[in-house]
Structure 1
Amino acid sequence: MKKIHMFNDIIRKLRKDLFGKGPERIHTIFVDNMAVSTLYGNLTPTEKFIASTPEGKEMVHRARTGMIQAVYAKAPPEGLEELMEAKFLHLFSDFKIDDDIAVSVFLFDRSID
């Protein structure tokens, strides 16, 4: 599906620009007014090193989730609303540092599927 591929490219580019490394793999599904993305292989070598202690793991988690939510709270990435033909409302995200997996749920103002 071309739309999902284009959506994933926008997400990957933003994270690469923000963190210096984009996810190695993204799996996205569209459900009603949400895009649910699972992102694999996100961490940089530096983040992996920092996350080798419990305190470091918490710091990487907080920085990653806080930073991405702050960016989306300011404005959605360029081309996202045009591609989805819907207004972006909110991003919910979490990160499982041990497995290097992030999940992001993008909420839109109308059905996108």
Structure 2
Amino acid sequence: MTKGQIEAKISEAVTKFEREFMGRGPKQINTIIVEDLIIIRLIGFLSRSEQKLAESKQGIELIKRVRSMLFENAREYLEKLIKEVIDVNIISIHSDVSTKTGEKIIIITVDEDLERRFE
């Protein structure tokens, strides 16, 4: 497979993860592989009720806390989905949510330079 095909498959896996464990998938998702990093940007992933909560500081804190806990509890499943797409050991997964822009960023560090596979 090409780099673009792998990136698309990872996007599909993350969308599946978001639907199954976070309640809904993003409106848009982009995945980029850069050396030993997989960078995933999800746009439009907040539900209407979360968007309403995000209008207050307490609501923002609550969304971030709940989303973080859900993500951490399902991390192993996400790792499994990524490994099914590209057979690689995952070193770490980082995630952050912006309630202002409705974006979520996931950064996955792996134990090899994935771009070399596509040379």
Q: TM-score, normalised by structure 1?
A: 0.89
Q: Where does the alignment leave 5 or more consecutive residues of structure 1 unmatched?
A: none
**Which residue number in structure 2 is paired with residue 107 of structure 1?**
109
In the alignment, does 2:55 pair up with 1:52?
Answer: yes
How far apart, in 1, do the equivalents of 2:63 and 2:111 lie?
A: 31
Q: Secondary structure at the match of 1:107?
A: strand
Q: Which runs of 4+ in 1 moved over 2 A?
A: 74-79
**Which residue number in structure 2 is paired with residue 96 of structure 1?**
98
**Which residue number in structure 1 is paired with residue 31 of structure 2?**
28
**Which residue number in structure 1 is paired with residue 12 of structure 2?**
9
Q: Where does the alignment leave 5 or more consecutive residues of structure 2 unmatched?
A: none
Q: Choose 35-44 or 77-86, whichever is displaced more.
A: 77-86
Superposed displacement of residue 28, structure 1: 1.3
Q: CA RMSD in A?
A: 1.5
Aligned length: 112
**Percent pairwise identity:** 19
